[in-house]
Chains A and B, each alone.
Chain A
Amino acid sequence: MDLGLTEDQEMLRSMARDFIEQETPRAFVRDMEEDDRGFTAEMWQKIAQVGWLGLIVPEEHGGTGQNLVDLGILMEEVGHGVMPGPLFNTALVTVAILDSGSDAQKAEYLPRIAAGDLIATAAILEPYSRLDANGINLTAEMSGGNYTLNGTKMFVENAHAADYLLVAARSGGSGEDGVTLLLVDARSQGVAVEKLKTIATDNQCEVTFSNVSVPAANVLGTAGNGWEPLRLLLQKGAALRCCQMVGALQEVLDMTVEYVKNRVQFGRPIGSFQAIQHYCANMATDVDGSRFITYQAIWRLGEGLPSDLEVSSAKAWVSDSAQRVAATAHQCHGAIGFTQEHDLQLFTRRLKAWEVSFGDGDYHRERVAQAMNI
C-alpha cells in the first residue's frame, strides 16, 4: 500500500502550482470572470507548451502518456488555483477518445488537443438534467452516412469556446440501449451556443442542435452502445472533479488557518479560541477525508478496477464536505470573507457549482446503495 505520490508526480504538482501562481494569479482569475471567453489564447498556448493538454496523450500522438492519477494531481492544482479555462473539459474528452476512440480518431484528434489547437467539451445533460441513460433524448437519426442531431444539451461547460463537442445522443432504443457518442464539430450548421450566467461564472452553456449533420465516422465507439463508455466517462469525470475540489478545499482550509492566526479580537488571535480551533479541526478532517477517498477512487479507475462504490463514495463525500468546509471557512472569516474583495468567494462559488457537477450527494448515495446491492 502506498498512498503517496511518486517523485515525478511530486514534480508535476510543484510545477503546476508554480505555473498557475505565475500565469493565472488571483487577479487574472478575477479578470477572466469578467471576460466573455473566460480565458485567453495566450494562456491556453502556455498550457499546451508545458504539456498539460498532452499529459495523458500517448507519445505517438504528441503527448507524454501519463495516467489518470497524474491527471488527477494536475486537476487538484487546477482547483487549488481556481485556474480558469477549458482544461478540465478538454481533458475529459481526451479521456473519452483514449478509452473509446478508434486508431484513426486518436490520430486525428489527440495531436491537435496536445498541441493546444483543439478545445473540446462533453455535452451530456439535457433540460431534464438527469445523469442516467433515460436522460439522453437528443436524437441522432442515421441517413445516408450521416447522423442528424436534434435536441438541447444543458450545462455544457465552455461550449462557447469549444472546437468539438462530445455529444451523448439517442440513436434508437430506450434506456441504456441506443445511446451513441459523437464528436461534433462545434461550428457545424445548426449548433447554437448560449452562455448561461451562473453563481460560479463557470461558463456553462445551453447548446441547441437543429438538424446538425454529423458524419458517421465521428461516432466514438460503436453506435447504439454508448452508454457503458459514457457511464465510465461520467465516473472519471466525477473523480477528476473531486480532485479539483480537493485542491480548492485545501486552499480554503489554508486560507482560513492563516486568517485566524492573524485576526486579533479581544486582544488575542481568534485562532487561539477553542471554538475556532475546533472548526478548523473539523475542516482539516473533512479535507483530508476528501483527499484520500478521492485518491482511492481515481487510483481504482486508473487501474481499471471496479469502482462504482468507491467513485460514488468519493463524490458523495466530497460534494457534501465541500459545502461544510466552505460554510465553516466563512464563519471563521466573519464579514470580510463575505465580500467580493476577499478571495474566499472565488472558491465558495465554484465549490457550489462542483457540488452538483457529475452528480451531487443524493445521486451518488443512490449509486452507493446500488453498489451495496440494497
Chain B
Amino acid sequence: MDFRFSQEAQTIRDEAEDFVTKEWQNPGYDLTGGLAGWHGDEETREAGHEVARQFAKKLVGRGWYTMHWPSEYGGQDASIEKQLAYREVMSYHDAPAALGGGLVAPVLMVHGQEWQKQLFLPQLANADIEFAQGFSEPDAGSDLAGLKTRAVRDGDDYVVSGQKIWGTYRNDWIHILVRTDPDAPKHRGITYLLARLKDEDGNYMPGIQVRGIQDGTGNHRWDELFMENWRVPANNILGEENRGWYAAMTTLSFERSNIGRPAQLLRTLEQFIDWCSRVRDEGGDTPIDRAEIRHRLAEWRVRVETLRSLCYRVGWMQSEGMIPQKESSMVKFAGDELFQHIYRGLAQIMDGYGNLLPTNGPRFSLPDDNFLPARGWQSIGTSIGGGTREIQKNIIAQRGLGLPR
C-alpha cells in the first residue's frame, strides 16, 4: 500500500502545475463540463470555444495532449497513474482540456481503416478537428442500444434517416451510431460511421437539418440533428457492419477515474473559503465563523476526500490491468451527487449572491470564478449525461454485486 504518486507522476504534476498557472487564465466563460458560457450569445460562445482550442494547442505543443495514446499513433503510452496525476492538476485549475482525441480516437485506432487513421488521427492529435457525437436519440437515452436512426445500403452509400440529440452539431464531422439491421437483436444491428456533416464550404450536407436546444436558463447548449436520406459513403464505416456497438465500447488504456470531479470541487471549496474570509458583517464575522457553516464545509471536504480515494482506486485498478466496472460507476454517480450537494449548499450560504450570474461582470468577485450558480445549474445535468445515476446504480447492483435482473 502506498498512496504516494510515482516519481514520474509527481514530475508531471509539478510540470503541469507550473504550466497551467502560467498559461491558463479563465476568459470569463466557463469552458468545462460542456458549458460554453452563461449567455445565449453565439459570438461569445464561439469566442469561448476558440479560447479552449488555443489552450489545447498549447498542450499539443507541450506534448501532453495525446500522452495517453499509444506511441505508434504519436502518443507516449503514458501510464494510467501519469494520466491521472496530470488530469487531477489540470482539473483543479479548471483548464478546459487535458487529454485529447475524445471517445472516437481509441475506436479509430482499434477498428479504423488505414485511410481513416491517416486522415483523422493526426488532426485529432493536433487539436485541429473535433467530431460531433451522434449517439443519443429522442427515444434512445439510457437505453442507447435501442437507437433507431436507420442506414440502408444503396450502391456505394448508406442512406441515413433519423434523429440525433444532445450533441452540438457544429463540427464538420460526426461519429455516429446507426441501425443497419432492424431485425437483429438490438446490440447486433448497429453500425459505426464517420461522416461529413458539412461540406468543404461549411454548409450542411443535403438531408441534414440542425436545430438548437436551449437549456432551462436560455443557454444554447445542444442541438437536434435531423437526417433525411443523407448519403454517407459506405467506405466511411468504422469497423464492421452491425458490430458498431462493440466498437463503441473500445476505450484502450485511458484513465477513467473521474479524478477531475474531486479536483474541481476541492478548488471550489478553497475559493469559497477565501471568499468567506473577505465577506464580513458589521460585527466583523465571516460566514465560516458560524459553526453550522464551518461544519458543512468540513463535511464537504470529507466527502471530497472520500470520493478522491475512490477515484484513485479506479486508476490503481487500471494500472494493475484490472477492469473497473462497478468501481467506475461509483465514482461517476457519487461524484455527480457530491457536485450537486456542494453547489446547492454553497448557494444557500451565499444567499442572494449565490444566484448572481457571471454576466454581472467581475465586480462581485464571487467564488468559483463567478460560475457558482452557473455550475450549480450545470450540476443538474451531470447526473443525467454520460449515464444517469440510476443506470450507474443498476450497473453496480447487477454487474458488480450480481443481483438478478
Contacts and interface: CB of A to CB of B under 8 A. Distances in A.
**Chain A, interface residues (CB within 8 Å), range:** 35 or more
A295 interface: yes
B394 A274 contact: yes
A272 B405 contact: yes
B319 to A, nearest CB: 7
A317 B4 CA distance: 22
Contacts of A296: 3, 305, 309
Interface stretch (A118-126, A172-180, A190-198, A283-291): A283-291
Contacts of B1: 2-6, 9, 69, 295, 299
A79 B400 CA distance: 23
Interface in B1-19: 1-6, 9
B336 to A, nearest CB: 12
Interface centre among B288, B294, B302, B392 (most CB of A within 10 A): B302
Given A272-B404, A372-B298, A1 B306 contact: no
A303 B316 CA distance: 20
B398 interface: yes
Interface string B278-303: 00000000001000001101110111
B298 A368 contact: yes
A170 B295 CA distance: 30
B3 A277 contact: no
A252 interface: no
B403 A257 contact: yes
B402 interface: yes
A335 interface: no
The main secondary structure of chain B at its interface with chain A is helix
Interface residues of B, number: 49
Interface string A262-300: 000000110110101110111011001110110110011
B3 A299 contact: yes
A362 interface: yes
Contacts of B398: 277
B132 interface: no
Contacts of B2: 1-2, 299
B319 A284 contact: no
Interface string B335-367: 000000000000000000000000000000000
Contacts of A282: 393
B147 interface: no
A282 B326 CA distance: 11
Interface in A334-374: 362, 364-366, 368-369, 372, 374
A4 B3 contact: no
Contact of B302 (A278, A285, A317): A317
B5 to A, nearest CB: 6
B302 A368 contact: yes
A285 B330 contact: yes
Interface string B193-212: 00000000000000000000
A47 interface: no
B273 A3 contact: no
Contacts of B99: none
Contacts of B320: 4
Contact of A3 (B316, B330, B396): B316
Contact of B330 (A4, A261, A268, A288): A288
Contacts of A374: 273, 276, 288, 294, 297-298
A310 B305 contact: yes
A261 B298 contact: no
A365 B2 CA distance: 25
Nearest to A5: B1
A288 B294 CA distance: 27
Interface string A1-42: 111111001000000000000000000000000000000000
Contact of B393 (A277, A299, A372): A277
A272 B319 CA distance: 33
B130 interface: no
Contact of B312 (A1, A269, A313): A1
Contacts of B405: 272
A365 B3 contact: no
Contacts of B402: 257, 261
A280 B312 contact: no
Interface string A294-318: 0110011000000001101100110
A260 interface: yes
B310 A1 contact: no
B315 interface: yes
B118 to A, nearest CB: 37
A300 B1 CA distance: 10
Given A293-B309, A368-B302, A280 B4 contact: no
A3 B306 CA distance: 14
A299 to B, nearest CB: 5
A295 B3 CA distance: 9
Contact of A313 (B273, B305, B394): B305
A281 B316 contact: no
Contact of B404 (A271, A300, A366): A271
Interface string B34-59: 00000000000000000000000000
A292 B309 contact: yes
Contact of B301 (A2, A274, A313): A313
B143 interface: no
A313 B297 CA distance: 12
A3 B313 contact: yes
B396 A1 contact: no
Contact of B400 (A1, A284, A289, A293): A284
Nearest to A269: B404
13 contacts: A1-B6, A1-B315, A3-B316, A4-B316, A257-B403, A277-B398, A280-B397, A285-B330, A295-B3, A316-B302, A362-B295, A368-B298, A372-B301
Q: What 4 pairs across the A-B complex have the smallest Cβ distances?
A: A277-B397, A281-B393, A292-B309, A281-B396
Interface of B: 1-6, 9, 81, 273, 276, 288, 294-295, 297-299, 301-303, 305-307, 309-310, 312-313, 315-316, 319-320, 326-327, 329-330, 333-334, 390, 392-394, 396-398, 400-405
Given A292-B312, A295-B1, 10 more contacts: A1-B9, A2-B2, A3-B313, A261-B402, A261-B403, A281-B400, A282-B393, A293-B306, A309-B305, A368-B301
